[in-house]
């Protein structure tokens, strides 16, 4: 009986260790089982990075903005349509003409931060983001959503970003900006990354696009 019990304990320990190794390997490899899929982008496709100062690249030179770095990483044209200080309602009003101008195959949406700074309410930002996503999808444009953290001691994005990503079945980047804006070495000021921070954001978005099948 003691021998059988010891064997059972060894079997359970081995199974636990194997599961831990599997989880660790999955984390290192960036497992993508839950990432929504996108059509592969043609080589001549235009990707539209749409948002506020985080997209514009405030705090770094233009060539260090996340859209500029992302363009190099994915080998597709990435248009920077970031407007510093813009709230989501203004973004919604601007988006139709911007889509007409660039005719993108993919929209990367990173918006809402100025709503938080001006205390305009999460509900308004969420509804404006939904409306922007509908506008793109009605035109057959794929959408990727980037969560923007609320300011604070430990900046974190509101839950509505994840809910919107689930609602529309979007590839969703939830961690990059949160991690960057909690690290003084990756920021140019309280609200914006520096060049290295934007590079980290671009790398995260590029990884997400690869997992989604877009590139």
- Write the pLDDT tens digit of every residue in 83-121: 999 999 999 999 999 999 999 999 999 999 999 999 999
Per-residue pLDDT of 157-192, as tens digits, reads 999 999 999 999 999 999 999 999 999 999 999 899
Look at phi and psi of residue 183 and say left if phi exceeds 0, alpha if psi is from -120 to 50, else beta. Answer: beta
pLDDT at 153: 83
Rounded to whole angstroms, the Cα distance separating 79 from 157 reads: 25
pLDDT at 156: 93
| The model's pTM | 0.84
Percent of the chain surpassing pLDDT 90: 81
Instruction: Name which residue leads in pLDDT, 61 or 25.
Output: 61
Task: Return mean pLDDT, the chain.
Answer: 88
Rounded to whole angstroms, the Cα distance separating 207 from 55 reads: 17
- Per CATH, the homologous superfamily of domain 36-212 is SGNH hydrolase (3.40.50.1110)
Between helix 160-168 and helix 122-138 the angle, nearest 10°, is 20
What is the Rg, in whole angstroms, of the alpha carbon atoms belonging to the chain? 20
- Give me the phi and psi of 139, to 5 degrees please: -95, 5
Domain extents for the chain?
Answer: 1-31, 36-212
Rounded to whole angstroms, the Cα distance separating 36 from 172 reads: 8
Grouping H, G, I as helix, E, B as strand and the rest as coil, residue 61 is: coil
pLDDT at 160: 97
Percent of the chain surpassing pLDDT 70: 85
């Amino acid at each position: 009986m003691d021998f059988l019990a010891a064997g059972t304990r060894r079997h359970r320990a081995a199974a636990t260790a194997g599961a831990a190794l599997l989880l660790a390997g999955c984390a290192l490899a960036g497992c993508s089982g839950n990432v929504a899929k996108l059509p592969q982008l043609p080589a001549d496709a235009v990707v539209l990075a749409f948002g506020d100062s985080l997209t514009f690249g405030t705090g770094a030179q233009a060539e260090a903005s996340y859209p500029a770095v992302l363009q190099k990483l994915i080998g597709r044209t990435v248009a920077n349509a970031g407007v510093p200080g813009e709230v989501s309602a203004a973004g919604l009003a601007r988006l139709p003409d911007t889509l007409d101008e660039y005719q993108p195959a993919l929209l990367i949406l990173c918006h809402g931060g100025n709503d938080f700074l001006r205390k305009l309410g999460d509900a308004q930002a969420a509804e404006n983001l939904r409306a922007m996503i509908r506008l793109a999808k009605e035109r057959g444009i794929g959408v990727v959503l980037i969560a923007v953290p609320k300011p604070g001691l430990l900046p974190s994005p509101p839950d509505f970003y994840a809910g919107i990503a689930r609602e529309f079945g979007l590839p969703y980047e939830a961690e990059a900006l949160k991690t960057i804006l909690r690290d003084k070495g990756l920021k140019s000021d309280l609200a914006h990354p520096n060049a290295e921070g934007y590079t980290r954001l671009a790398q995260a978005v590029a990884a997400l696009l690869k997992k989604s099948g877009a590139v």
